[in-house]
Structure 1
Amino acid sequence: MKKTLFLFATAGTMALIHSAAGAAPLQSQSKQSPDARAAAVEQQMTEDERFQLLHSIMPFNIPGLPKIDVEGLTPTAGYIRGIPRLGIPDLYETDASLGVTNPLQLRKGDVSTALPASILTAATFSPELAHAGGVVIGRETRAKGFNVLLAGGVNLTREPRNGRNFEYLGEDPLLAGTLAGAAIDGIQSQKVVSTVKHYVLNSQETLRSTIDARISEAALRMSDLLAFEIAIEKGKPGAVMCAYNQINGDYACGNDFLLNKVLKQDWGYKGWVMSDWGAVHNVDYFMKGLDQQSGAQLDKQIWFDGPLKTLVKAGKVPQSRVSDAVRRVLRSLYATGADIAVPKGDADMDAHAAEARKVAEAGIVLLKNEGDILPLMQSARSVAVIGGHADRGVLSGAGSSQVTPKGDVTIIPVGGTGAMASWARMLFMPSSPVDALRKALPDTSVNYDSGYVLDSAAALAANADVAIVFATQWSSEGFDGSLSLPEGQDELIARVAAANPNTIVVLETGNPVKMPWLDQVKAVVEAWYPGQEGGTAIANVLTGAVNPGGHLPITFPRDESQLPNPELTGFGKPEGSAETITYPEGAKVGYRWYAAKGLKPLFPFGYGLSYTSFAYSDLRLSGGAAPKVSVTVTNSGKRAGSDVPQLYLTARNGEKIERLVGFDRVELRPGESRTVSMTIDPRLLADWTGKGWTVQPGTYSFAAGHSATDFVLTGDVKLPGQTLRP
């Protein structure tokens, strides 16, 4: 292994490599299409040069693995040596969707803009904000010398206790796919290749490397695969990253059906498929559709070097397949401009911080506001802030997406064993809600108690006009969690609420949580993991400087009994255990499960309150192959604010059904009206059959509303039948 790894970057080649990194493309090919240019360049490559592009390393040494020569390389997630004579740059790959990461702070002093968690971005229901966030990350990626970003998380929330839900975009394929596509497009506008990941059904972290997810093709096509399909259509990512888990008996990175049949054949995907790090178990994955082995030192072998060369020489793998994989990599570089030399530089961090704050403010969700206690009543002369390390900052999710922002971060080790133990630490972004509230309320006394001693917290609350409890639930890649708040915080909230009737709860979570204290408090705000500007964003929402406009992209269950799988499959079993998971909900993920079962959740998908009110009128539907709908939205309140009108399919030929088929986000002044128009993707009306997407002829019923359970206007339209090929 050591000898092969040295081929990636020997000390004698480093000067040549770095002088050519980002080298200009050959002039004779610069005006060709990406496909033609990739074919022309690939034909000029030696066999060793071809194989050079088919595997990457993590360019730093990992305890427990053989040491490799990484002198002169930038520590990051992945590295592939370029080919200077052909203008192919070094490929430097970095995580991820929330900002440019600095793994284990190996790049001393290197900081980046920490955007809010993707689940918060999903709560904005705004492709425009998702795109803007992608532009921010893409700019900083390029400014730091990287050209491949391992972003684009679009796995649907099937398991609300999944430790990586904060990296994803909720439970609905239209919402998740649309926002992921917008973010990817923003990233790639900066001449950076973006991935979309983790393909597919990477729905939990428990036993993620061995669990086998069982589901029918139809259910998969109509849910998780549809989210990826929409994201790929809208964002055109240069690479797809396959997942760790198995799907119907085959590992995701060696799944011929998903990689060759669905992705490359049915969808006509032109980019390359890279593995997740340590997800390759056999050289035969190459013929099953995997183009590149990532982080190769984490696998048992560098399968896509010596072992693959042997099969090619023996005629067991055709040379055309090697050429195809190489051309896919090159095509994505040329299509995005990631091969073009861009000087390293300083990004406009102040402008990026402002964008991070804008997204955070737009995605914070107001869940309860009894008696209009929010915005904070002007008569409040004293505010008790309790818990959540709110004096220090705001919590972030952990794992490979952890961003290190500028400033004095607070890190609390969590501990544990296993491959992800070194990532198990709570990091609080240096944006203190306490400081922000004091700045926003200069004439109000704002005092803080850690909540560590319940009696102390209750005493502070009892002597204040208003009490605000910050409750946190940490989540991370490599770990699954719970629907309960940890460390006795439910009891803390109950004690504070008993001491002060004007108690407000601010949640910093990456997942839904149960709320046994809900009836005891006046207001609840879901702030998610709001990023480096989160403290200011929360204070702006609490004080009314910003009118909350976020809506839930995931259903909040009352408790585990409402879940399709009440017990988390494999939880507590040793890593590496074989386990099978089935999904009783099939294609009916999230709110569709609740509708089908007649369950009333704690808070439904699409739900979110405002400091103003919105009325809907004049719902109009038109038929045809691509149906259209319009609805007029009016701000009927006294404050400017944002609304998210949502359109659902509710019945088909009399059969009850519930699917989100359209949404928009509108900003309106008091009394202002706007007509929102949407074109419905016929796949959202169809069922998957062996022939493709089949839309039944007949009467389709639709409803416009404020959430998946709050419909305001309804209407029917007759549609012709049609079958759409994948």
Structure 2
Amino acid sequence: MALVIPLSAFAQGDGPSTLAASEKRAAETVSRMEDAEKTVLTKTMLAVPLMGGSVPEGGVAGAGFAPAIPRLGIPALKETDASLGVAYLMGLRNDGGATALPSGVAMGSTWNPELLYRAGAMIGSEARAKGFNVMLAGGVNLMRDPRNGRTFEYLSEDPLQSGILVGASIAGIQSNHIISTIKHFALNGQETGRFSVDVRVSEAAARESDLLAFQIGIERGQPGSVMCAYNKVLGHKACDNDWLLNTVLKKDWRYKGYVMSDWGAVPGLSTALNGLDQQSGAQIDKAVYFGDMLAKAAKSDPAYAVRLDDMNKRILTAIYANGLDKYPATPGGAIDRKANADIAEEVARQGVVLLRNRGGALPLAAGVKRVAIIGGYADRGVLSGAGSSQVHGDKGPEVIVPKQGGGPVGDFISEQYHESSPLKALRAKLPNATIAYSEGRYISEAVTQAKLADVAIVFATQWASEGFDQPDLSLPSGQDALIAAVAEANPNTIVVLETGGPVMMPWLDKTAAVLAAWYPGARGGEAIASILIGETNPSGRLPLTFPASLDQLPRPVIDGASEVAESFDVMAAQDSKLSTNYDVEGSDLGYRWNARRGQKALFPFGFGLSYASFATGDLKVNATSASFTVRNTGKRAGATVGQVYLVSRNGEIKQRLVGFQRVSLEAGAQQKVSVAIDPRLLADWRDGGWSIAADDYAFALGDDAETLGKPVTVRMKAKHWKD
């Protein structure tokens, strides 16, 4: 499908210049480099007073720093996390914080690449204003397991949707003359044993799923850098993986930027020969391999000498293509905090998914008299995911729940809430209603409040962080029992889920309405309130499957869950023999797996309700595109997502999302939509390339991955091609 925003070579750093021109200029600079200068850019050092790091002269407290080379006009590299905004870093910079976007899965729920471009441009502008010129954003790992601790950071279980959305976000970030990464390359599907788990997968399965998401994202966003992952792939560390980095990324995809490591992911000097271009946060590894060791190897071994020049050329290509030298980022730039908060709120509004709405329980009736708000620290704020992606505003977190006994690591991944109270927002929007709050610690107290109210709204939370996975998909701390009791006391109970991903809902049939609000960011409370009262018509659609039970998953128990002692600390990581077999599901993740197995989800991929109603029809398909009409059959304006699926091939189930378009319509209006079909979604990977068999291919419109219209069959011609 077409993305109506300008994308260019890496970004818009040199205006009309091309990537080829930037690469040529980079090669010329390398030819003028002295030996000592060639290992300046090949490593970054942790730029915070933690784990052996410090803020260097000319640096900004952040994830990493490489000094400038003034003689050659090469700027310093100043790196910050992450995809959701400029990382808070526990307030170490004392610079007023930053605007927190909603979580990645919330952004995925918008199905809106234009909005994600704006969101990327916003967080990139804040990074630039704080002096950063490299943003460690672009999380696009597919959601192979909903219990993954980093599910909240990623976008989707589908390669097309993930690739399109991450490409838009990256392009927005890089429109600020800064570099964005795409990460974590690749097949980084769980946090359990994340430093050493070995992913076993066939090349075909990888190319048709996780790698395809990266490929589409790179094609559309042209990130200056690719960040490799912690895990192993087929026996080799991802950052020391010749097949991933040299064969797939640089040879097959002809990627011209540079590969940076994840922090603490470099096992040795040989990674340079296997495709790694920059060692990140080098103090965290067992040694600084890409400094003196690399220089010495380059003097004695021609292979290392050639690679060292190539490493510098790739880093400089990204610098020049994005204009880091021509448009230097310096701390103290202006930030329009209100405008940026408005973007964060719009993402939250479009990302909330209405999962249940029995009898029109939502929006709340205009004359509602008494509302009981229960749980989730809703009187104070909204939940945020933890770890390197943590973002906060001026005052830092509104609520902190300590984890792992305190200390720097415990503080870094503590449970934190943004200062955006749903309770305060609802009171502002319903000034004539009595709104009482119960923190939900005692079920009996919550039940009493629920019985007194016209409507009870339970805010349920599921905290997640990088470094570990969820043990299951229940709500922690007895919240399932709390919801069941409140719903028993008041049938008009609404549940607002602030979660990192899917959860089970044993209480679902007792409730009147359920909203998936995810981690809704800096203005999450206002966005939730706007939807509850009907000011905003919910339009989010699920970017991942809510399983009906753990037994529906390819791995009902996470591989290594009973074997590996988890640790966030890279230095304490275990080099275990843990492996996980992705060939169980192959390229059939999420809804594809359910289709293959004939399983019905609790809520399927693409699902979402609205206060309006929509009808899609008139599907026409050929080998390269599809068209259809969308009509708003309801009584109010709203938005929906038209979804086109391949449903079978030669009569056999083969489900793939092949196109989508978010459409906003006034009541009674209709619109014709056309989407391009990427031929890779119809093909198999075999014999070193993509192959489309000469078969009958059936396509259908879907309200979601399980609610499909009448199939349209197209006969495809045989085709084989390479990337």
TM-score calculated relative to the size of structure 1:
0.94
Q: Equivalent residue for 1:613?
A: 613
SS of the equivalent of 2:654 reads strand
SS of the equivalent of 2:621 reads strand
SS of the equivalent of 1:616 reads strand
Query: How far did residue 413 of structure 1 move?
Result: 1.0
- Counterpart contact for 1:647–1:662, Cα < 8 Å: yes
Q: How does 1:29-428 map to 2 (within 5 A)?
A: 33-63=21-51, 65=52, 70=56, 73-315=59-301, 317-340=303-326, 341-343=328-330, 344-407=332-395, 409-415=398-404, 420-428=409-417
Query: How far did residue 39 of structure 1 move?
Result: 1.0
- Quote the Cα distance in structure 1 between the aligned partners of 2:542 and 2:646: 19
Choose from 533, 538, 541 the match for 1:548.
538
Query: How far did residue 410 of structure 1 move?
Result: 1.6
Q: Equivalent residue for 1:439?
A: 428
- Quote the Cα distance in structure 1 between the aligned partners of 2:611 and 2:592: 28
Query: How far did residue 698 of structure 1 move?
Result: 2.3
Q: Residue type matched to 2:418 in 1?
A: M
Query: How far did residue 109 of structure 1 move?
Result: 4.2
Higher RCO, 1 vs 2 (CA within 8 Å, ≥6 residues apart): 2
Q: Equivalent residue for 1:682?
A: 679
- Counterpart contact for 2:60–2:132, Cα < 8 Å: no
Q: Equivalent residue for 2:591?
A: 591
Q: How does 1:515-594 map to 2 (within 5 A)?
A: 515-572=505-562, 573-575=564-566, 576=574, 577-583=576-582, 584-594=584-594
Choose from 467, 472, 487 the match for 1:478.
467
Identical positions, percent: 51
- Quote the Cα distance in structure 1 between the aligned partners of 2:293 and 2:455: 67
- Counterpart contact for 1:420–1:478, Cα < 8 Å: no
Q: Equivalent residue for 2:457?
A: 468
Query: How far did residue 245 of structure 1 move?
Result: 0.3
- 1:209-254, CA deviations, whole angstroms, 9 ceiling, x for partnerless residues? 0110100000000000000000000000000000000001000000
- Counterpart contact for 2:386–2:416, Cα < 8 Å: yes
Query: How far did residue 119 of structure 1 move?
Result: 0.6
Q: Residue type matched to 1:159 in 2?
A: D
- Counterpart contact for 1:97–1:167, Cα < 8 Å: yes
- Quote the Cα distance in structure 1 between the aligned partners of 2:407 and 2:651: 52
- 1:438-479, CA deviations, whole angstroms, 9 ceiling, x for partnerless residues? 111111111110001111110000000000000000000112
Cα distance change on mapping 1:249 and 1:306 into 2, 3 Å: same
Q: Residue type matched to 1:350 in 2?
A: K
SS of the equivalent of 2:321 reads helix
Q: Residue type matched to 2:605 in 1?
A: F
- 1:349-368, CA deviations, whole angstroms, 9 ceiling, x for partnerless residues? 11111111111000100000
450-459 vs 706-715, which moves further: 706-715
- Quote the Cα distance in structure 2 between the aligned partners of 1:50 and 1:609: 56
666-675 vs 403-412, which moves further: 403-412
Q: Equivalent residue for 1:661?
A: 658
SS of the equivalent of 1:644 reads strand
- Quote the Cα distance in structure 2 between the aligned partners of 1:641 and 1:60: 46
- 1:171-218, CA deviations, whole angstroms, 9 ceiling, x for partnerless residues? 000000100000000000110100000000111111100110100000
SS of the equivalent of 1:620 reads strand
- Counterpart contact for 2:617–2:701, Cα < 8 Å: no
Query: How far did residue 690 of structure 1 move?
Result: 1.5
Cα distance change on mapping 1:498 and 1:254 into 2, 3 Å: same
Cα distance change on mapping 1:524 and 1:30 into 2, 3 Å: closer
Query: How far did residue 32 of structure 1 move?
Result: 8.8
Q: Equivalent residue for 1:22?
A: none
SS of the equivalent of 1:48 reads helix
- Quote the Cα distance in structure 1 between the aligned partners of 2:702 and 2:18: 50
- Quote the Cα distance in structure 1 between the aligned partners of 2:123 and 2:267: 32
- Quote the Cα distance in structure 1 between the aligned partners of 2:195 and 2:105: 24
Q: Residue type matched to 2:456 in 1?
A: A
52-61 vs 383-392, which moves further: 52-61
- Quote the Cα distance in structure 2 between the aligned partners of 1:283 and 1:418: 32
TM-score calculated relative to the size of structure 2:
0.94
- 1:63-91, CA deviations, whole angstroms, 9 ceiling, x for partnerless residues? 5x4x7683563210000001112111110
Query: How far did residue 511 of structure 1 move?
Result: 1.1
Unaligned runs of 5+ in 2: 1-12, 567-573
SS of the equivalent of 2:703 reads strand
- Counterpart contact for 2:403–2:413, Cα < 8 Å: yes
- Quote the Cα distance in structure 2 between the aligned partners of 1:665 and 1:32: 34
> Structure 1 runs of 4+ off > 4 angstroms?
29-32, 416-420
- Quote the Cα distance in structure 1 between the aligned partners of 2:225 and 2:374: 45
Cα distance change on mapping 1:420 and 1:172 into 2, 3 Å: farther
Unaligned runs of 5+ in 1: 1-24
Q: Residue type matched to 1:605 in 2?
A: F
Q: Residue type matched to 1:594 in 2?
A: N
SS of the equivalent of 1:196 reads strand
- Counterpart contact for 2:392–2:522, Cα < 8 Å: no
- Counterpart contact for 1:100–1:140, Cα < 8 Å: yes
Query: How far did residue 418 of structure 1 move?
Result: 10
**Aligned pair 1:487/2:473, yes or no?**
no
Q: Equivalent residue for 2:448?
A: 459
Q: Equivalent residue for 1:449?
A: 438
268-277 vs 34-43, which moves further: 34-43
- Counterpart contact for 1:705–1:713, Cα < 8 Å: no
- Quote the Cα distance in structure 1 between the aligned partners of 2:506 and 2:96: 42
